[in-house]
Amino acid sequence: DQQVKQNSPSLSVQEGRISILNCDYTNSMFDYFLWYKKYPAEGPTFLISISSIKDKNEDGRFTVFLNKSAKHLSLHIVPSQPGDSAVYFCAASAYGNQFYFGTGTSLTVIP
């Protein structure tokens, strides 16, 4: 039973444009959401997070939006850069317990 889903396995975006990665979850107990970036042959690295008490968190070019009623969050990258090309994982946790990950979205930013 997959509690965190990323329905788009891949996404291609032109350099300079906005990248929007989506994530859905089913467990209403989740109160903390994270995005991780993963390059080949490396472990996932933390990118940005959001608590369930917020609906938006911004860090430079990265913004995460949370819609609790829809159980949906998204990651916006603007402007997209070729170095952003990687696999992005959405993750969620409840009360600081284990993290549940989505299956990832492979982002390709075309120069």
Partner 1 sequence: DTAVSQTPKYLVTQMGNDKSIKCEQNLGHDTMYWYKQDSKKFLKIMFSYNNKELIINETVPNRFSPKSPDKAHLNLHINSLELGDSAVYFCASSNREGRAFFGQGTRLTVV
Strands 62-67 and 4-5: unpaired
3-state secondary structure the chain: CCCEECCCCEEEEECCCCEEEEEEECCCCCCEEEEEEECCCCCCEEEEEEECCCCEEEECCEEEEEECCCCEEEEEECCCCHHHCEEEEEEEECCCCCEEECCCEEEEEEC
- Which span (56-64, 68-76, 78-86, 95-103) binds partner 1, by CB under 8 A? 95-103
Q: Which is nearer to partner 1, 15 or 27 (CB)?
A: 27
Pick the closer one to partner 1 by CB: 52 or 74. 52
Minimum distance from CB of 94 to partner 1 (Å)?
10
**Residues 28-47: x/- map of binding to partner 1 (CB under 8 A)?**
----x-x-x----xxxxxx-
Complex with partner 1: residue 14 or 26, whichever CB lies closer: 26
Check binding of 97 to partner 1 (CB under 8 A): yes
Contact footprint for partner 1 (CB under 8 A): 2, 32, 34, 36, 41-46, 49, 87, 89, 91, 93, 96-101, 103-104
